[in-house]
C-alpha cells in the first residue's frame, strides 16, 4: 500500500468518525422550582426553570444547565441589589428554609463563585434584583446537573438576604456561605416537562455565565480539506 492510498483511507476513517460523533442523539431534561411567598422570611415568589441537554450516553453535554430565574416581591429600592443564590443539599423547606441544609457540596470543596474551580456544586453566586424588586435572569452553569449521581433534582434553591462575597471576603463564613445572610425564600427542584418550560415569560433572554460549547464540525471541514489536498498527488 503506497503513501497516498494509506492517507486516503485514514481520511475516510476520520470522516466516518466525525459523522458518527455529529449524529449522536441528544435529549433534553427539564426541571422547575416554584417559590412560594411564605417559604422564607420575606414574601418573594416566582418560578425557576431548568433545562439540560443529555447526550446519548446519559450524561449532560458540555453546554451546561440553563437556569432561568423569575422572581418578585423583594421590595422597591433606589439601586439594583445582588442577592446570594444557591442550590442547597435537601429539599426539606421546613423552619423557613433552614432545613434545606448547607450548600450542595458533594466534593467537600470550600465556597466560591460560579466561575471558580474550587466551589460547591450549589454555588451559583448572586442574582440581580432590579429597583422594582424583581429578578429576570438566565444562568448557564457547568456543575449543576439534572442527571447522574450528583443531580440537583429534589434539592432546594435558596435565595439569601445579602450579597454572596464568592468566598473572597474576610468574614468567618466567607468560605462556607459567602456571608450571604439569612434565607428569605426557597423551593424544591422537581422534574418537569417541555410544556411547563414553554411558559417561560421571555425565552430569548441573553444568558450570563455562558461558556461556548465544543463543536465537532470544524474537524469535518479539516478532513475534507486534507482529502482535497491528497487528490493532487
Among the listed residues 68, 81, 86, 155, the single catalytic one is 86
Widest CA span in the chain: 77
Among the listed residues 89, 123, 141, 165, the single catalytic one is 123
State the DSSP code for 113.
-
Catalytic (active site) residue 179: no
Among the listed residues 119, 120, 155, 179, the single catalytic one is 120
Query: For residues 180 and 90, what is the distance between their CA atoms, to the nearest angstrom?
Result: 18
Catalytic (active site) residue 86: yes
Query: For residues 181 and 163, what is the distance between their CA atoms, to the nearest angstrom?
Result: 8
Catalytic (active site) residue 210: no
Among the listed residues 81, 83, 103, 155, the single catalytic one is 103
Q: Write out the E strands in 23-102.
A: 27-35, 45-54, 60-72, 81-88
Catalytic (active site) residue 132: no
Among the listed residues 81, 155, 160, 179, the single catalytic one is 160
Chain centroid to CA 64: 5
Among the listed residues 68, 88, 155, 179, the single catalytic one is 88
Catalytic (active site) residue 160: yes
**Residue 13 CB burial class (10 angstroms; 0-12, 13-18, ≥19):** exposed
Catalytic (active site) residue 88: yes
Catalytic (active site) residue 164: no
Catalytic (active site) residue 123: yes
Among the listed residues 68, 81, 83, 111, the single catalytic one is 111
Give the active site residues: 86, 88, 103, 111, 120, 123, 160, 183
Amino acid at each position: 500500500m503506497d503513501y497516498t492510498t494509506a492517507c486516503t483511507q485514514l481520511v475516510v476513517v476520520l470522516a466516518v468518525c466525525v459523522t458518527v460523533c455529529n449524529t449522536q442523539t441528544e435529549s433534553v431534561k427539564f426541571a422547575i422550582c416554584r417559590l412560594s411567598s411564605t417559604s422564607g422570611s420575606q414574601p418573594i415568589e416566582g418560578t425557576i426553570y431548568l433545562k439540560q441537554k443529555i447526550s446519548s450516553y446519559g450524561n449532560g453535554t458540555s453546554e451546561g444547565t440553563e437556569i432561568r430565574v423569575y422572581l418578585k416581591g423583594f421590595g422597591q429600592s433606589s439601586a439594583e441589589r445582588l442577592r446570594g443564590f444557591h442550590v442547597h443539599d435537601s429539599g426539606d423547606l421546613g423552619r423557613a428554609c433552614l432545613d434545606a441544609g448547607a450548600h450542595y457540596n458533594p466534593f467537600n470543596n470550600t465556597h466560591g463563585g460560579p466561575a471558580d474551580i474550587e466551589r460547591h456544586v450549589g454555588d451559583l453566586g448572586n442574582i440581580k434584583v432590579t429597583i422594582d424588586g424583581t429578578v429576570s435572569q438566565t444562568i448557564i452553569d457547568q456543575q449543576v446537573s439534572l442527571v447522574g449521581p450528583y443531580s440537583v433534582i429534589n434539592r432546594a434553591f435558596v435565595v439569601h438576604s445579602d450579597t454572596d462575597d464568592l468566598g473572597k471576603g474576610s468574614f468567618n463564613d466567607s468560605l462556607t456561605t459567602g456571608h450571604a445572610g439569612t434565607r428569605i425564600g426557597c423551593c424544591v427542584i422537581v422534574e418537569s416537562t417541555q410544556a411547563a418550560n414553554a411558559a417561560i415569560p421571555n425565552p430569548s433572554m441573553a444568558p450570563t455565565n455562558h461558556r461556548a460549547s465544543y463543536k465537532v464540525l470544524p474537524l469535518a471541514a479539516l478532513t475534507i480539506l486534507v482529502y482535497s489536498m491528497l487528490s493532487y498527488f
